[in-house]
Amino acid sequence: MNDWPEGWSDDNRGPRYGRGSAGAQPEGARVMRQVRRGPAVPPGPRSAYGDPGPAAPPYGAGVPRQPSYVDGQGHEEGAGYSDYDSGYNTGQVYGGSGGRGPGGTAGAPTRAPRPAPNWRRRIKWTAITLATVLVVTSIATYFWADSKLRREVDLSKVIDRPEGGDGTNYLIVGSDSREGMSKEDEKKLHTGGAEGKRTDSMMILHVGGNGDTLISLPRDSDVVVPSYQGSTSGKTYPAQGRHTKLNATYAEDGPTLLVRTIEANTGLRIDHYVEIGFQGFASIVDAVGGVDITIDKGFKDKWSGADFKAGKQTLNGQQALAFVRTRHAFAASDLQRTKNQQKFLAALAHQVATPSTILNPFTFYPTMGAGLDSLIVDKDMSLWDLGSMFWAMKGVSGGDGTSMNMPISGSVGGNLVWDKAKVKTLVNELNNDEKVTVSGN
């Protein structure tokens, strides 16, 4: 019995799809006998639901034409079923080679090989990026540091100044300012609680082309107070031939009278002024991680809190402050203290300039911040001037310059008297930027 509908036979079933067939369309796409066929619809999208979509692509483009039904068994006469099915179960329906995989279509385009990396171009742009970051960081650091400088001293208020010589002269002052210190800090650092400011250390640093020279001025130096202009009142006070200790002039009218007195008693013009207080000094030492120094002979001093044994050791901020302030423990008193101050400042400059400090941002920025926050400088001081001073101090510590006390000839009433002849020779050599031949005590 024929199971096919009337008028329907294997000859008009059309190509089949699936196992054992060679049709290019699935069985669901066959036109059934029961469905009325309309006129042919041109290929392409239609707007109504159920309309056919794009026409199937024609044979070609690397897709082999499939065998058609001839004998109603899904293969051409003479073609074995097993031959057609071979490769189907493995996914290689179309066979061939040259496609994306083992069963890819012959003649299909292959992926182009990845080009080799252009290392010269990569290195170039890496270098440009690093250089840009370095420049931007340097500029930002410069403006950050420059904004932190406390330019509070106006040297234009100093009257009757001597002519400037060759090189640059810095007056470096260590004051006993307790600015920013709590009562606990004062007790810890043995600073006392006195009001106002005095100076325990004064140094002249000459930076020139024939070696740098660091000269300590003992605080008890006997000087004549010259005429001067009041730093706050603006009033001019005439000279009266009054003798006093050098540090007393600082206590009387601050940095401008101190500069005026040094210039009047030496004939050496001071170009820049730098001052640091107790708290700032200790903070710098702590920020750099302590300073290594060798103490030749141990000493104690209840006034400064010093208690040191002989030998090489690392001093923290509190210990460093005690070391540079001690004078009662020495027979030479203030003269020995100035030598210790020079020795420690040289060691501090060397410690700050080490690669472990400069190249480590976690050490460099806290150290710079602590230093700049605590420094008081003149209004004309630039970062370049401050850097020049720092490197000159480092050079002196490395043996590239001279470190000395102001020449002393004796004492009067407990005040140290300068050797006028030696001082005159020393000032002439500094003004002419000549190598210093004068020795100090």
Return the pLDDT at 66.
54
Mean pLDDT of the chain: 78
Tabulate helix, strand, coil % of the chain (nearest 5): 35, 15, 50
Q: Please check the confidence at residue 25 and state whether its pLDDT lies above 90.
A: no
Return the pLDDT at 323.
92
Strands 408-412 and 291-295: unpaired
Gap between the Cα atoms of 389 and 168, Å rounded: 9
Return the pLDDT at 180.
59
Q: Please check the confidence at residue 39 and state whether its pLDDT lies above 70.
A: no
Q: Please give the model's pTM, rounded to 2 decimal places.
A: 0.68
Q: What is the average pLDDT across 87-111?
A: 52
Could you write out the three-class secondary structure of 180-191? CCCHHHHHHCCC
Return the pLDDT at 282.
87
Q: Are 13 and 3 in contact (CB under 8 A)?
A: no
Return the pLDDT at 97.
47
| CA distance readout (Å), 388 to 27, 94, 285 | 93, 83, 20
pLDDT tens readout for residues 268-291: 999 999 998 877 888 889 988 899
Return the pLDDT at 188.
61
Return the pLDDT at 345.
85
**pLDDT tier at 65 (50, 70, 90 boundaries)?**
low
Percent of the chain with pLDDT strictly greater than 70: 70
